[in-house]
């Protein structure tokens, strides 16, 4: 059993109390995490604030070199962190599971560390020179979710550090152990106080809410639900914090009539069910033209029958359990309601514990709760359409706008439709294929700002214009 500590400044802090982390596949105790107090948070913020001037003042090349070592630190401990990640989150070790996540974390860390923050010359003529400088903000607070805890931690931490900020991170109470291990590895090469981690189940003290309101935290990066994102915005408003919010999605996929159902089945499946559907940018709704609707359904059912659900430590497993009971109950309720309205093609009934079978439901009305709400689990509604204009309108009829996809042999036709979709990212003949050099973020209720690439890095800076 793991019994890990927080890292605050140059100290490991055990906490006065702990909370249990259970394996969603077995219900067994994986480890204990410290329950931070208000004093712990204050000390973490103070440590980050004290470390900021020296870290921000480092020559850019030196700070870049230190950040460049973080990917290697994660690589050294990747297998041990991956095993802990599987035990606390539930995802399989192999495939697109925990080892995949650790590999992604390394890739994002390495790429982000390599980025530069140049001075931009806006004017240089007889009337004068005008330069745009990007300066670090200060202490950045990071609040991460339970679905991709290590990779999202890296998405938050690396651009903040690369830009010259210091960080206090608070991971989800469902999956803190892998983040504690990842932060410990990174802190081995970072100066004291530059990166701090506090953990809490929020029963004694709501650390996330306190971070959002804290006057010495100058920016919050939050990945999670729209409802919690609203609370972060409200509590951050009095201190005028910078915000980057990557919130919920209800991504739509549109399949055009020229597709080969069997050729796209695998891509559709993993676009919807990567991480058991517990991914913000997973496909949550699938619109299929009437002429190939039944064939696409048949191809997806056939592919689904070969996908093994089970304990992620079993190397033959493709999908693990739903991470926690609250999310399990939500998926179960949505599927139960949809099962009364539509046609359950496969799945539909929960298994033992937190395991839920891959579920495909067709013939649903576009206003069914399984269609309009983000299920965040292994259930996909398939909606029949006859007019592509109707499909586009239905895809856009959502308060969310994170991602979307168009599936067609005609790339130009697909691109024309893609440009009409109201979402931050659109993929053609794939879904959810994010990459570190491409900005990622949502529109409407799916968030504010972007992550990744130069644009994501720059969101961790304040602009200062120098006139001379």
Q: Give the catalytic positions in this structure.
A: 246, 280
Distance between CA 193 and CA 61 in Å, rounded? 20
Report which of 246, 55, 83, 76 is spatially closest to residue 165, judged by C-alpha positions: 55
CA distances from 122 to 103, 358, 456, 468 (A): 39, 54, 21, 12
The sign of the torsion formed by the CA atoms of 253, 256, 257, 262 equals: negative
């Amino acid at each position: 059993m793991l019994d890990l500590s927080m890292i605050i400044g140059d100290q490991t802090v055990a906490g006065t109390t702990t909370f249990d982390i259970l394996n969603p596949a077995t219900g067994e105790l994986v480890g204990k995490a410290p329950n931070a107090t208000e004093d712990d948070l204050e000390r973490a913020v103070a440590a980050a604030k004290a470390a900021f001037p020296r870290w921000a003042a480092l020559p850019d090349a030196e700070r870049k070199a230190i950040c460049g070592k973080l990917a290697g630190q994660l690589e050294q401990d990747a297998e041990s962190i991956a095993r802990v990640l599987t035990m606390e989150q539930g995802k399989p070790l192999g495939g697109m599971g925990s080892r995949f996540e650790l590999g992604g974390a390394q890739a994002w860390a390495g790429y982000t560390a390599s980025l530069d923050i140049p001075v931009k010359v806006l004017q240089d003529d007889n009337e004068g020179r005008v330069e745009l400088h990007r300066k670090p903000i200060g202490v950045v607070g990071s609040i991460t979710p339970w679905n991709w805890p290590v990779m999202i931690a890296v998405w938050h931490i690396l651009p903040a550090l690369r830009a010259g900020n210091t960080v206090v991170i608070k991971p989800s109470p469902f999956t803190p152990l892998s983040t504690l291990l990842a932060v410990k590895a990174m802190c081995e090469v970072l100066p004291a106080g530059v990166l701090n981690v506090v953990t809490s189940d929020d029963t004694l003290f709501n650390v996330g809410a306190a971070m959002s309101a804290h006057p010495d935290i100058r920016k919050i990066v939050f990945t999670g639900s729209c409802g919690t994102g609203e609370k972060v915005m409200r509590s951050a408003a009095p201190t005028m914090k910078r915000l980057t919010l990557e919130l919920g999605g209800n991504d739509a996929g549109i399949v055009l009539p020229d597709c080969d159902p069997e050729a796209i089945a695998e891509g559709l499946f993993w676009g919807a069910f990567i991480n058991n559907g517990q991914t913000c940018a997973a496909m949550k709704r699938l619109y299929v033209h009437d002429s190939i609707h039944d064939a696409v359904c048949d191809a997806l059912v056939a592919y689904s029958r070969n996908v093994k659900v089970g304990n992620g430590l079993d190397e033959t497993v493709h999908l693990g359990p739903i991470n926690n009971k609250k999310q399990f109950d939500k998926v179960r309720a949505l599927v139960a309601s949809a099962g009364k309205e539509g046609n359950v093609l496969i799945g539909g009934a929960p298994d033992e514990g937190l395991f839920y079978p891959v579920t495909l439901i067709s013939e649903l009305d576009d206003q069914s709760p399984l269609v309009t709400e983000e299920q965040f689990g292994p259930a996909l509604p398939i909606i029949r359409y006859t007019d592509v204009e109707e499909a586009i309108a239905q895809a856009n009829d959502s308060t969310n706008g994170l991602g979307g996809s168009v599936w067609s042999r005609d790339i130009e036709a697909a691109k024309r439709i893609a440009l009409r979709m109201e979402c931050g990212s659109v993929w053609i003949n794939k879904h959810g294929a994010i990459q570190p050099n491409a900005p990622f973020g949502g529109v409407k209720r799916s968030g504010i700002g972007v992550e990744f690439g130069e644009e994501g890095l720059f969101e961790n800076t304040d602009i200062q214009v120098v006139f001379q």
